[in-house]
């Protein structure tokens, strides 16, 4: 392999995902429900996006609650205890509040020690960014057990009167435990990228230092997510394909060697276009967006958990994860499961 860090590094370390878990809220919002709220149709949503329903968190259920539940499942699968975790990273664009960070709240909820805990924000690419950060801490021998989570309560920043966006998003969380496991190869390589020149395509302008919350920002709807769907779509296909191609080339493998491709679940047409350009078969592509819509940072994390627990991925299989989101940001990773 061209990638020098593939397999064991010079410290004899590898970084494996030893546990995954996910959690979605109980409440289901179907396309039929949306038909009663805005001018839309099941037919439009299904043909343009592939989404049939999405999960919506309860009023008293926050991103940290979804994250903690997903984390507990990943911890159980890895066969570790919360006390063994050395670092918590949460990727989210919908933290419980601007500060303190959501990872600190998760630390308390799962009963971890007073370990370093921080959030990262790379929108829908956040889970891959967080995986790469966790990987670096494992490979450098800084930590032995890292908890990485992608969690979102997107319903809290959705404008339920805007049919262009409100049909697309949902709530949920996915988590992974990273550990050094010299017997397996784990995370082989990751390619990350960003283009701040296209920041305006997908954003929530209000509530930060640029537009602090005022009665006017609320009246103007600046605390809602907004998106130029068409431009975002084009950029998504292009960036996801090039990130995926980069990691496959670095590993010196072609797409036929990949057992399961886990793309960001934003739109069925994006997934199909990316799959087609990469030469992936429909059987290789993992799709669950019909059930959850776009859950941003949680998207590929939930999909990875479902792919593992449905038996689609077995130990030793090569998997390709690809994400894209606001920033713009993107990333891809090849993992030997």
Residues that bind ligand UT7 (CB under 6 A): 40, 44-45, 48-49, 124, 163-164, 167, 202, 229-230, 232-233, 236, 266-267, 270, 294, 324-325
DSSP string, 288-309: -HHHH-B-GGGHHHHHHHHHHH
Q: For residue 40, give the 3-state DSSP assignment.
A: coil
Q: Which of 135, 166, 264, 267 is catalytic?
A: 264
Active site residue: 104, 124, 166, 241, which one?
124
Of 12 and 197, CB closest to ligand UT7 = 197
**Residue 104 or 120 having the CB closest to ligand UT7:** 120
CA distance 295 to 167: 12
Cβ at position 229, least distance to ligand UT7 in Å: 3
**How far apart are CB 177 and ligand UT7 at their closest, in Å?**
25
How many Cβ atoms sit within 10 Å of the Cβ of residue 237? 19
- Whose Cβ is closer to ligand UT7: residue 95's or residue 325's? 325
Closest to ligand UT7 by CB, 231 vs 249, is 231
The span from the CA of 120 to the CA of 103, in Å, is 9
Spell out the alpha helix ranges (H) of 162-287. 163-166, 215-219, 229-251, 268-278
- Active site (annotated) includes residue 294: yes
Q: Is residue 124 annotated as part of the catalytic site, yes or no?
A: yes
Q: How far apart are CA 25 and CA 27, in angstroms?
A: 6
Of the residues 101, 180, 235, 294, only one is catalytic, namely: 294
**Tokens 């060697």 sit at which residue?**
257
Q: Tell me which residue has its CB nearest to ligand UT7.
A: 229
Catalytic residue status for 15: no
- Residue 82 or 154 having the CB closest to ligand UT7: 154
Element (H, E) at 319: strand 318-325
Q: Minimum Å distance from CB 29 to ligand UT7? A: 13
CA distances 7 to 154, 182, 255, Å, are 37, 9, 19
CB of 39 to ligand UT7, least distance (A): 7
Question: If we measure between CA atoms, which residue out of 172, 206, 204 comes closest to residue 68?
Answer: 172
SS3 152: strand
Please report how close the Cβ of residue 200 comes to ligand UT7 at its closest, in angstroms: 14
Residues carrying an active site annotation:
124, 264, 294
């Amino acid at each position: 392999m061209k990638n020098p860090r593939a397999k064991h590094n010079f410290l004899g370390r590898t970084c494996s995902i030893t546990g995954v878990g996910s959690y979605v809220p109980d409440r289901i919002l179907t396309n039929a429900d949306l038909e009663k709220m805005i001018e839309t149709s099941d037919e439009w949503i299904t043909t343009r996006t592939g989404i049939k329903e999405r999960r919506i968190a309860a009023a008293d259920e926050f991103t940290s609650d979804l994250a903690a539940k997903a984390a507990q499942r990943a911890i159980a699968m890895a066969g570790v205890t919360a006390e063994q975790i050395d670092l918590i990273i949460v990727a989210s664009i919908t933290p419980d509040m601007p500060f303190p960070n959501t990872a600190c709240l998760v630390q308390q909820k799962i009963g971890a020690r007073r370990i370093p805990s921080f959030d990262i924000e790379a929108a829908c690419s956040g889970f891959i960014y967080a995986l790469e950060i966790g990987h670096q801490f494992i490979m450098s021998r800084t930590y032995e057990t890292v908890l990485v989570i992608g969690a979102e309560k997107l319903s809290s920043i959705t404008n339920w009167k805007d049919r262009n966006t409100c049909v697309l998003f949902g709530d949920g969380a996915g988590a992974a435990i990273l550990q050094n496991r010299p017997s397996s190869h784990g995370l082989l390589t990751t390619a990350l990228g960003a283009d701040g020149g296209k920041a305006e395509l997908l954003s929530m302008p209000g509530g930060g230092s640029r537009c602090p919350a005022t009665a006017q920002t609320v009246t103007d709807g600046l605390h809602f997510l907004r998106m130029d769907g068409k431009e975002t779509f084009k950029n998504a296909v292009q960036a996801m394909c090039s990130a995926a191609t980069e990691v496959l080339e670095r590993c010196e493998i072609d797409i036929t060697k990949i057992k399961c491709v886990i793309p960001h679940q934003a739109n069925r047409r994006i997934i199909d276009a990316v799959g087609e350009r990469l030469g992936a078969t429909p059987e290789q592509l993992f799709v669950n967006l019909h059930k959850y819509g776009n859950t941003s940072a949680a998207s590929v994390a939930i999909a990875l958990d479902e792919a593992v627990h449905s038996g689609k991925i077995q130990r030793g299989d090569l998997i390709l994860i690809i994400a894209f989101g606001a920033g713009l940001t993107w990333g891809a990773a090849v993992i030997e499961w």
